[in-house]
Amino acid sequence: MLIKNKNSFFVFLGSLVFGLILLNLTARDIFHRFDLTDNKMFSLSNSSKSIVEKLDDRLTIKVYFSDNLPNELGNTRRYLQDILEEYRAVSKDINFYFYDPESDSELEEQARKDGIQPVQMQSLENDQMVVKKVYLGMVLLYEDKKETLPVIQTTAGLEYMISTKLKSLINLDKKTIGLLSLSEDVESKNENLSAQLREHYNFRNLQKNNSIPDNIDVLLISGATDTLDSTIYNGITNFLNSGKKLLLAQSGVSTDLQTQQATPIQSNIFELLKKYRLNLQKNLVLDGKCGKVTVQVRQGPFLIPYPMDYPFFPIIDTFDDTLLIVSDLEMVRPLFPSEIQIDTLDNNLVKNVTPLFTSSNNSGIMEMNLNLSPDPQQNPFINMLGQKSKVLAATSKLSNGGELLLVSDSKFLSDDAGMSVNENMIFLMNVVDYLAGDQDLISLRSREVTSRPLNILQLDPADEQRYSQDEKDRMKDKIKKRWKFANMVLPSALIIGFGVFRLRREKNEAEVLKQIYD
């Protein structure tokens, strides 16, 4: 802009300042962020927006964060402030405030009353490790209710935690979830699962000798190992006939990894499943895409721990994008699953049956001579793969509105088995939300990146059968080394190539200018 005199300069400066102020005021409520991350982790999800839009009263968020935080926590504070700005942009009923309790004794006392306690952390200051007392919590106040996040140390899953607390404050009509263990060995091993369910729902731990209460909205059942008595059998049938929904974790084989023993389960629960077109086989599904177990290998006088592929622990990482329960999942890892065959004959009870996830196309079946050893020399059946995928989980939607969802892993709901895998917990909570008709958190729960394996490390089914375990490990090691070398060389080569290109381009431009002015 051509400035002819002082007056025009002041007009220009005033217009610029006024424009900047107006732009900032407008941007507080109307803004757009370009988030190029794969899972959009820096943008508020539609699920969170849906929860926030249900607010009908003022929500106050008090963040108690110390100012002098260690460097690694500085990013956490900035991310927290950014995401709270996102929440406030969706609803004007949200207000948040940051406090440093260490700056004022009254603030420190208020933080303690709100349930925020200081934590001790090590920090490097002046080349020395010192222990600092810091505050890293927040409290959400809505009407006469309060929810607390006492410690926030990482950005991972932060939006999910905040939205979960918001939902707990807003949700007045919570559904009741019942957990019923049909096997004695998993009856007392669901503390972690119970705690997760209590975050969102009213929860009841049921006894198998009692009838199922009428106020249970969704029922979770751990697998049977023997015949059900008439009370439980009829209770499950009546529960489904009343139009309600349940999840059953049931395998066809009882397994014990410690003793490496497995026996087919004899129970009338298989007859119950057949009524709903779910034919659960008394076998074990093996998969070349699998987890590992550590075995002791003797080398001279020493026993060396050695990880080995264990096809009895399939890794499922391919899901149907049209199914809400699994569309955003990265992985599910059932342990010792059995095959589910879907009966194609229609009946009056069932509306339709849908597979939820399957093993890979490098699968196998073990039905006789059940052997759980991971050593191919002791267990030659472990490498007999190459079959098409097998259904490991399916849902049967009933004509009366009820639903039976089957996962073919009897210990899927146990804290020391299926629930010890974080991805399985995410899947289970998705299932519970879906069965309860509450889908706000399903897509949000799966946003965090948990696994990004290189598919190139998966060998062809023919190679899986042709080579021994040691040969397959050596092949995978070679592939890993190639990719590591490529990761080291290619970025440097691209930068050097770009530099050479720029240098030549500038040199050519200099030559052109020289010719023009000479």
In a domain, 32, yes or no: no
Residues 319 and 412 in one domain: yes
pLDDT at position 186? 47
Whether the CB-CB separation of 414 and 334 falls below 8 Å is answered with no
In percent, the amount of the chain with pLDDT more than 70 equals 86
With respect to residue 184, please indicate whether it lies within any of the assigned structural domains. Answer: yes
- Read off the pLDDT of residues 68-123 as tens digits, 9 standing for 90 and up: 777 767 788 888 888 999 899 888 899 999 999 888 888 889 999 988 888 887 76
pLDDT given at position 451 = 61
- 398 with 476, same domain? no
In a domain, 160, yes or no: yes
Pull the structure tokens for residue 304. 């060396």
Same domain membership, residue 398 and residue 284: yes
User: What is the reported pLDDT for 196?
Assistant: 87
Domain shared by 471 and 425, yes or no: no
- Residue 380 maps to which CATH number? 3.40.50.880
CA–CA separation, 220 and 218 (whole Å): 7
Quick one: tokens of 157?
Answer: 């899953």
Has residue 60 been placed in a domain?
yes
- My answer on whether 266 and 413 are in the same domain is yes
Do both 301 and 447 map to the same domain?
yes
How far apart CA 440 and CA 92 sit, in angstroms, is 21
Paired residues of 179 in beta bridges: 205, 220
In CATH, what number is assigned to the domain containing residue 55? 3.40.30.10
> pTM for this structure?
0.77
Please check whether residues 162 and 180 belong to one and the same domain.
Answer: no
322 shares a domain with 289: yes
Q: Is residue 208 included in any domain, yes or no?
A: yes
**DSSP alpha helix (H) spans, 391-468:** 422-435, 442-445, 461-466
Nearest to 429 by CA among 186, 291, 278, 247: 247
Token pair of 389 as six digits: 């995928």
Residue 292 belongs to what domain range? 174-457
End-of-domain residue from the set 427, 457, 487? 457
Task: Tell me, yes or no, whether 198 lies in a domain.
Answer: yes
pLDDT tens digits along 287-343 = 989 998 887 777 777 778 888 889 999 999 888 888 888 888 888 999 999 999 999
197 and 124 housed in the same domain: no
Question: 137 and 204: one domain?
Answer: no
| 464 has a pLDDT exceeding 80 | no
pLDDT digits (tens, 9 = 90+) for 378-396: 888 888 888 999 999 999 9
Number of domains in the chain: 3
Strand residues in 200-358 grouped as ranges (E):
202-206, 218-222, 245-249, 253-256, 261-264, 278-280, 284-287, 290-299, 302-314, 340-342, 350-358
- Both 274 and 413 in a single domain? yes
403 lies in some domain: yes
- CA nearest to 283, candidates 349, 411, 370: 370
The mean pLDDT of the chain is: 84
Q: Is the pLDDT of residue 30 over 70?
A: no
Q: Do 267 and 195 belong to one domain?
A: yes
| Residue 253 and residue 263 in contact, taking contact as beta carbons nearer than 8 Å | yes
**79 in Cβ contact with 114 (< 8 Å):** no
Q: How confident is the model at residue 187 (pLDDT cuts 50, 70, 90)?
A: very low
- HSE of 8 in the Cβ direction (CA atoms, 13 Å)? 5
Each residue of 196-207: pLDDT tens digit? 898 888 999 998
Residue 212 lies in a domain: yes
Last residue of a domain, which of 113, 135, 168? 168
User: Model confidence over 413-455: pLDDT tens digits?
Assistant: 999 899 999 899 999 999 999 999 887 778 777 666 556 665 5
